Amino acid sequence: MSHKKRKRNKTGILIGSIYCIGLFIFLIQAPPGEAPNNPYWYYAMIPLGALTITFLFDHVIKFDVFDISKKKIS
């Protein structure tokens, strides 16, 4: 039984990674001398948001900027 490797959407992965980094930077900001005081579910939004973004680009939007084979050469 051979498994076909699923083609991942590179645009979704890139946007998901940018989302993770941006949200992490936003969440760790605090006034000088104080620790960030955020509920734990805020930090759970980092991987959940990245999974949602990659799912949307893989299955719903299906648009990949980096997929050269689908681009028309004119």
Least confident of 34-38, 41-45, 57-61, 67-71: 67-71
Count of Cβ atoms closer than 10 Å to residue 12 Cβ:
23
Classify burial at 49, counting beta carbons within 10 Å of its beta carbon; exposed 0-12, middle 13-18, buried 19 or more: middle
Q: What are residue 66's phi and psi, to 5 degrees?
A: -90, 0
SS3 56: helix
Give the pLDDT band of residue 73 (cuts 50, 70, 90). Answer: low
Q: How far apart are CA 62 and CA 17, in angstroms?
A: 18
Mean pLDDT along residues 42-55: 94
Global pTM reads: 0.80
